[in-house]
């Protein structure tokens, strides 16, 4: 059992070691500094700009940046929807799969367009190789790059710089970060045993003499951008629990690190932009400590097992229900917390079978959205909490709230409030509708408190652009496809617009010289206050839901069922 805890610690140490290296590299990319890839990439980028008639030097305002995000996403969404609905006539369809229903195709398009990748289908039995590669694989790059671009634009505005050019940021995110990492990671996954083939399913004869059809496909390149881009959508229905997506301990370690590599490093990138690495490390350690605390809660719950089952097993045993034995309780618990903390959504075990403590942690991650948060946008949400902490602290001590030498005024607080308030509305309103209609729409497979968790998890996953699920929920229906699509769109684009407008407002403010009365934000005290604000404003908003779901289920199990 000690081995499991050692695996968790070693994985976290790797994250700490790579954060400053990768964070500095991303800062160089987006600040226009020279990098090792310049000789290869610069000419390719020039060709892309020429083809798209884009001048990367044209600075955009907040509204212009937001419109560029919305227009480009709309065009990409229409293109992908057409591919999905016509896949029956397209090549690379060895199993001759027909098109999914219009509502499933719409939900899938919206889901992958927004970096959510929530799946109400099994990939190997629903989508062709063309749809998986040219539609979903394409959106895995562009949606991740869109979030990363918005996060960097927000950092620029927060530090007093122009927001930049969306098309330039989008291109550089792909050519200099996502694509190089995917090429290296994809090759490593192939070496680890992940298939990359256009051949159709393989047919094998079992030991009993039966015939078995084994799905395969171009998985390796799909898998790595799924993890690096925090996409999470699986090539196969059981995602990274499938041996073709995640065959062994090495692939599991690589994919776990890939999930957190960009969001953890982006905090350090902020420190480079702000020329304040001290504050970046303080924020990093704040998030890291909360993350480790949540990992501990989930891991201890899985390690101790189910008290209702343990007596039948002759004593305490880890909870191995819904887990792959090649990963065990420790790597499954770490992955579950990591995938919901980073808004990746990939799974290497079934979250529906987690102990209530695991359900509590995974839901809490998606409610807060800042540990570590979505691709790019999670870092922006994190600094929204810092801005609110500055505002509240300023009110308490009678000082004009300032962040990085720029005053926080009514407009900034209104926009920050919009970012935080959209999330509970996108989750709790449809959740209440489901239970208000007497189970007609719910599709719940588990009665009682666990069923409450199933439903709220689905909407939290949608609104947080996470994509994972408490599988067992009957979500492949018209209601779930359309209602979660609304939550996905609201949780993605309303905060993005507010973030860009806030960043634009901050970039236009005159910097105020620091004095003895200035509230410093790069101290342990202020970072602790920020952690308190996160818990008060974030956690307490959803506390009643947690009480009705995983907490009530935990008490029920403790009392003997």
Rounded-to-integer distance, Cα 26 and Cα 43, Å? 19
User: Within a domain: residue 494?
Assistant: yes
Pairing of strands 402-403, 202-205: unpaired
Q: Which domain holds residue 398?
A: 384-558
C-alpha distances out from residue 314 to 3, 126, 308, 320, 355, Å = 22, 43, 12, 15, 19
What confidence score (pLDDT) does residue 115 get? 96
**Domain annotation covers residue 389:** yes
pLDDT for residue 438: 64
> By three-state DSSP, how is residue 213 classified?
strand
Looking at the domain assignment, is residue 266 inside a domain? no
- Residue 368 resides in a domain: no
| 354 upstream amide cis, omega within 30 of 0 | no
Structural Rg of the chain based on CA atoms: 23
Total structural domains in the chain?
Answer: 1
**Has residue 552 been placed in a domain?**
yes
> What was the pLDDT predicted at 90?
93
* Cβ atoms of residues 155 and 273 within 8 Å: yes
CA 171 to chain centre: 20
Residue 10: predicted pLDDT: 94
In a domain, 206, yes or no: no
Measure the CA–CA gap between 513 and 510, rounded to whole angstroms. Answer: 10
**Which residue carries 């008060």 as its tokens?**
536
**Has residue 445 been placed in a domain?**
yes
Angle (CA) 152 79 501, round 5°: 30
Phi then psi for residue 266, to 5 deg, are: -65, -25
pLDDT of amino acid 442: 67
Query: Do the Cβ atoms of 31 and 178 come closer than 8 Å?
Result: no
pLDDT tens for the 561 residues of the chain, in order: 678 889 899 999 999 999 999 999 999 999 999 998 999 999 999 999 999 899 999 999 999 999 999 999 999 999 999 999 999 999 999 989 999 999 999 999 999 999 999 999 999 999 999 999 999 999 999 999 999 999 999 999 999 999 999 999 999 999 999 999 999 999 999 999 999 999 999 999 888 888 898 999 999 999 999 999 999 999 999 999 999 999 999 999 999 999 999 999 999 999 999 999 999 999 999 999 999 999 999 999 999 988 888 888 777 888 888 898 889 999 999 999 999 999 999 999 999 999 999 999 999 999 999 999 988 889 999 999 999 999 888 877 777 788 888 889 899 999 999 999 999 999 999 998 988 876 666 678 777 898 889 999 999 999 999 999 887 788 888 999 999 999 999 999 999 999 999 999 999 988 877 766 677 888 898 999 999 999 888 778 899 999 999 999 999 998 876
pLDDT for the residue numbered 510:
85
Query: 135: which DSSP letter?
Result: I
Give the DSSP per-residue string, 53-102. Answer: T--TT----HHHHHHHHHHHHHHHHHHHHHHHHTGGGSSS-TT---PPPH
Instruction: Please state the pTM of the whole predicted model.
Output: 0.94
Query: Is residue 520 in some structural domain?
Result: yes
347 Cα distance to chain centroid = 12
């Amino acid at each position: 059992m000690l081995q499991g805890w050692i695996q968790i610690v070693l994985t976290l140490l790797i994250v700490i070691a790579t954060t400053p290296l990768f964070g500095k590299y991303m800062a160089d990319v987006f600040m226009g500094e020279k990098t090792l890839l310049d000789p290869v990439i610069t000419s390719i980028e020039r060709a892309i700009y020429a083809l798209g008639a884009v001048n990367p030097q044209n600075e955009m305002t907040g509204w212009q940046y937001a419109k560029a995000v919305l227009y480009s996403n709309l065009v990409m969404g229409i293109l992908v929807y057409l591919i999905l609905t016509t896949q029956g006539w397209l090549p690379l369809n060895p199993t001759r799969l027909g098109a999914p229903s219009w509502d499933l195709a719409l939900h899938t398009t919206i889901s992958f367009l927004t970096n959510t990748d929530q799946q109400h289908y099994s990939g190997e039995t629903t989508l062709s190789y063309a749809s998986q590669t040219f539609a979903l694989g394409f959106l895995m790059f562009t949606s991740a790059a869109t979030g990363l671009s918005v996060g960097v634009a927000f950092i620029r505005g927060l530090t007093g710089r122009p927001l930049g050019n969306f098309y330039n940021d989008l291109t550089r995110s792909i050519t200099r970060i996502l694509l190089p990492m995917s090429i290296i990671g994809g090759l490593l996954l192939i070496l680890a045993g992940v298939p990359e083939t256009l051949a159709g399913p393989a047919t094998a004869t079992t030991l009993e003499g039966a015939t078995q059809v084994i799905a395969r496909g171009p998985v390796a390149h799909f898998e790595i951008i799924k993890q690096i881009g925090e996409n999470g959508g699986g090539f196969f229905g059981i995602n990274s629990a499938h041996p073709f997506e995640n065959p062994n301990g090495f692939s599991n370690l690589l994919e776990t690190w890939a999930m957190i590599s960009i969001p953890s490093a982006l905090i350090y990138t902020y420190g480079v932009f702000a020329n304040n690495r001290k504050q970046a490390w303080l924020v990093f350690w704040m998030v890291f400590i909360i993350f480790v605390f949540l990992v501990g809660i989930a891991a201890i719950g899985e390690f101790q097992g189910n008290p209702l089952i343990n007596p039948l097993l002759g004593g305490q045993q880890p909870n191995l229900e819904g887990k792959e034995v090649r990963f065990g309780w420790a790597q499954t618990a770490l992955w579950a917390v990591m995938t919901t903390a980073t808004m990746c959504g990939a799974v290497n075990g079934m979250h529906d079978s987690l102990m209530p403590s695991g359900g509590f942690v995974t839901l809490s991650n998606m409610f807060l959205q800042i540990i570590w948060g979505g691709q790019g946008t999670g870092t922006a949400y994190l600094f929204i909490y810092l801005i609110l902490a500055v505002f509240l602290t300023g009110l308490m001590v009678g000082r004009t709230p300032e962040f990085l030498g720029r005053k926080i005024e009514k407009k900034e607080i209104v926009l920050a409030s919009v970012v935080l308030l959209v999330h509970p509305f996108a989750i709790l309103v449809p959740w209440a509708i489901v239970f208000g209609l007497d189970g007609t729409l719910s599709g719940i497979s588990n009665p009682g408190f666990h069923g409450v968790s199933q439903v709220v998890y689905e909407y939290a996953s949608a609104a947080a652009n996470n994509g994972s699920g408490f599988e067992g929920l009957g979500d492949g229906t018209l209601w779930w496809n359309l209602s979660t699509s609304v939550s996905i769109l609201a949780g993605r684009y309303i905060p993005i617009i507010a973030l860009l407008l806030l960043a634009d407002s901050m970039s236009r403010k005159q910097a105020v010289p620091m004095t003895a009365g200035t509230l410093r934000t790069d101290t342990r005290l202020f970072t602790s206050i920020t952690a308190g604000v996160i818990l008060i404003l974030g956690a307490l908003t959803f506390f009643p839901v947690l009480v009705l779901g995983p907490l009530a289920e935990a008490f029920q199990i403790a009392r003997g069922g």
